[in-house]
Structure 1
């Protein structure tokens, strides 16, 4: 293990190696095995490297049965004996920054508050650690973030050392090590001692910066989302862009955006309240107009376009209060969608409104509900609103 290129020189971007095997895996993927490699295989929470072997793209790297398999899109020519490997260095160094940053942040939580990390995930956009605590205060987060960035600014060396099980007791390990045989320690002197098989920059300064983004509860644990290195720059970039756009829309300086947005939201709520009150008044006027339109006709029918079921319900209820001797039949259509309401006043002797809804359901693909005095529903039909109203009137007169 210790002879692998990615352990001998973590900063190695390109290398030469001999081909040992080109084969097809059980799942049908092509892979190449070399006598040595700088490509890091997936493991220890760190994703695999990608890059090229000569001009063949490496899309995945895994350790299988002692071999490091470089999964490729196509094989190299059969007579190829040696290859020039080239890593996607931006991807690799990003993983190194995130992984080292995780060590530093985890050790800071332990040092300041004795909160242990129980799991770690290095994602494409953010990194997470799950802490063995159900509560984290904003003051604790700020203190840990400051401590972690102080360690980075100190530019301390990040050392690696291979030891045996017998030598473990010589080091103040942050957590117990489960592996046996060759054991690799990653050490930030006088701060963190941890068993790890991943790759990291050679100094803490290589991490550049750590920024905690958010936290969330995970049962009795707390998940911390954060970014390191260039991801901090990228995070700042898109957040700055969004803040600038929001400030322009709010017509306020960036530092005052939150207050300006809150004022806009308060104004919106006030306007929405006024609009609701105005809509109720309009519905009340409309109900009076419909009730007085034909005062001697016991059945009030109306076809609408693009009226919501809530509006039909409110309008029908308002009319039966004004004209308790009337029956109300409303239909509204929007393209192929149709909605209806049927209601009768307390002084009418009409049939149950359920008879009306059953007649409607027989010609629309939909559903609804109600009782003897009030029903509503919706669905699809090729009939026009007036044709559907006719069927509702027929149901009343049976």
Structure 2
């Protein structure tokens, strides 16, 4: 443990060490091993530290077979001494988030006996999974309130190494995953937890905690939250969005929900009106296509019409002329779509006809003898497909 300087002092920002070795792992990544290090390796839900060794960027840190590997952007020159510099902003953020997770998990257990079964520290937010199936807003608010109370009380956060015998003195929040080198992170009269991560010396340095939301994940509830500086980042992000919406909606923040509700209602009314207009236009279009046309076969090629519109138009056509057959084809960029339909008094099998059309365009579709549709690649122009299907019908 002597080589792990982050356990001796979590606030250590720079250090010197001897270069033990450099090498490449199985995937070819270059790494260095030092006589001692303040770089925290990925573990216990906490991400690795970044920074530099003799000015060379540290990209990743892992503990592999008992040695801490610093993965580098380039090789270190062979020298007796290496100077390490920790990215302190990233390290302290991880300290805030990890301690905030301890406090939140302990608060859930303190108030409702809800146990945390997993933890993830992401780049922007954190999550814990609770061994419950539902969480109410009232419960979340009460837990958040208690967590922030503990933070504001600026209680000490104590780290302590214990053996199995000494461990009996503590009531732990969860079972340990190790039986040797046992390290406890303790918030007196609130939380005792086995943990190998880095933490500030007091809860006040976590600054604040905010639950952002939660969702059910199978038989668990996943709670998303942020701590410390990330609370300010979330506030700034949401404040910027609110300012933009205030301007766009021309409404003050407190009236924004009502403005959005009215806008959604207006949108529904507009969508309904547009749909009714489209229906009327399709009715006019169907009447125009039939017109005084005495032919039993009517076909058209359209540009940029989806298959739903073709289907509606085809149904209108056969309802107005039950003795005719209709071939409706649409060219949509590099695709061809079609609907073939016939009235009850017309002859032919539209499903069989569609099968022949699909073979020409490497397509897929289906239907029955009265109504069939499909689509595929634009291997031939729509006009050519129309003529070839007409020839099959008239043959």
Task: Give the structure-1-normalised TM-score.
Answer: 0.94
Give the Å deviation of 1:355.
Answer: 4.3
Give the Å deviation of 1:175.
Answer: 2.6
Contact 2:3 2:37 in 1 (8 A): no
RMSD after superposition? 1.8
Q: For residues 20 and 307 of structure 1, what CA distance do their matches in structure 2 show?
A: 69
Q: What is the match of residue 354 of structure 2?
A: 357
Q: For residues 5 and 365 of structure 1, what CA distance do their matches in structure 2 show?
A: 66
Contact 1:2 1:162 in 2 (8 A): no
Q: For residues 232 and 351 of structure 2, what CA distance do their matches in structure 1 show?
A: 64
Q: For residues 112 and 165 of structure 1, what CA distance do their matches in structure 2 show?
A: 29
Q: What is the match of residue 329 of structure 1?
A: 327
- How many residue pairs get aligned? The number is 395
| Structure-2 change in CA distance of 1:139 and 1:16 (3 Å) | same
Q: What is the match of residue 394 of structure 1?
A: 391
Q: For residues 354 and 175 of structure 2, what CA distance do their matches in structure 1 show?
A: 70
| Structure-2 change in CA distance of 1:241 and 1:324 (3 Å) | same
| Structure-2 change in CA distance of 1:167 and 1:335 (3 Å) | closer
Matched, 1:18 2:15: no
Q: What is the match of residue 110 of structure 1?
A: 109
Q: For residues 303 and 150 of structure 1, what CA distance do their matches in structure 2 show?
A: 70
Q: What is the match of residue 174 of structure 1?
A: 173
Q: For residues 300 and 176 of structure 1, what CA distance do their matches in structure 2 show?
A: 77
Q: Which moved further from structure 2: 69-78 or 274-283?
A: 69-78
Q: What is the match of residue 336 of structure 2?
A: 338
Q: What is the match of residue 300 of structure 1?
A: 298
* Secondary structure of the corresponding residue to residue 97 of structure 1: helix
What does 1:84-103 correspond to in 2, within 5 Å? 84-103=83-102
Q: For residues 364 and 64 of structure 2, what CA distance do their matches in structure 1 show?
A: 57
Q: What is the match of residue 308 of structure 2?
A: 310
* Secondary structure of the corresponding residue to residue 293 of structure 1: coil
Give the Å deviation of 1:34.
Answer: 1.9
What does 1:73-88 correspond to in 2, within 5 Å? 73-78=73-78, 80-88=79-87
Q: For residues 222 and 306 of structure 1, what CA distance do their matches in structure 2 show?
A: 46
Contact 2:211 2:226 in 1 (8 A): yes
Give the Å deviation of 1:158.
Answer: 0.9
| Structure-2 change in CA distance of 1:289 and 1:198 (3 Å) | same
Q: What is the match of residue 41 of structure 2?
A: 41
Q: For residues 299 and 185 of structure 1, what CA distance do their matches in structure 2 show?
A: 84
What does 1:1-398 correspond to in 2, within 5 Å? 1=1, 4-78=4-78, 80-294=79-293, 296-348=294-346, 350-381=347-378, 383-398=380-395
Give the Å deviation of 1:35.
Answer: 2.0
Q: Which moved further from structure 2: 356-365 or 323-332?
A: 356-365
Give the Å deviation of 1:4.
Answer: 3.0
Q: For residues 180 and 359 of structure 1, what CA distance do their matches in structure 2 show?
A: 72
Q: For residues 365 and 249 of structure 1, what CA distance do their matches in structure 2 show?
A: 47
Task: Give the structure-2-normalised TM-score.
Answer: 0.95
* Secondary structure of the corresponding residue to residue 136 of structure 1: coil
What whole-Å deviation, never above 9, does each CA across 1:154-205 have from its counterpart, x for those lacking one? 1111111222211112223223334223322111111111121110011111
Q: For residues 3 and 74 of structure 1, what CA distance do their matches in structure 2 show?
A: 23
Q: For residues 390 and 84 of structure 2, what CA distance do their matches in structure 1 show?
A: 81
Give the Å deviation of 1:110.
Answer: 1.0
* Secondary structure of the corresponding residue to residue 316 of structure 1: helix
Give the Å deviation of 1:363.
Answer: 2.5
Q: For residues 162 and 12 of structure 2, what CA distance do their matches in structure 1 show?
A: 23
Give the Å deviation of 1:88.
Answer: 0.7
Q: For residues 116 and 219 of structure 1, what CA distance do their matches in structure 2 show?
A: 16
Structure 2: tracts of 5 or more residues without a match: none
* Secondary structure of the corresponding residue to residue 112 of structure 1: helix
| Structure-2 change in CA distance of 1:271 and 1:42 (3 Å) | same
Contact 1:363 1:381 in 2 (8 A): no
* Secondary structure of the corresponding residue to residue 170 of structure 1: coil
Q: For residues 162 and 382 of structure 1, what CA distance do their matches in structure 2 show?
A: 73
Give the Å deviation of 1:377.
Answer: 1.8
Give the Å deviation of 1:16.
Answer: 1.6
| Structure-2 change in CA distance of 1:322 and 1:52 (3 Å) | same
Q: For residues 96 and 348 of structure 2, what CA distance do their matches in structure 1 show?
A: 76
Q: For residues 44 and 300 of structure 2, what CA distance do their matches in structure 1 show?
A: 69
Q: For residues 325 and 86 of structure 2, what CA distance do their matches in structure 1 show?
A: 78
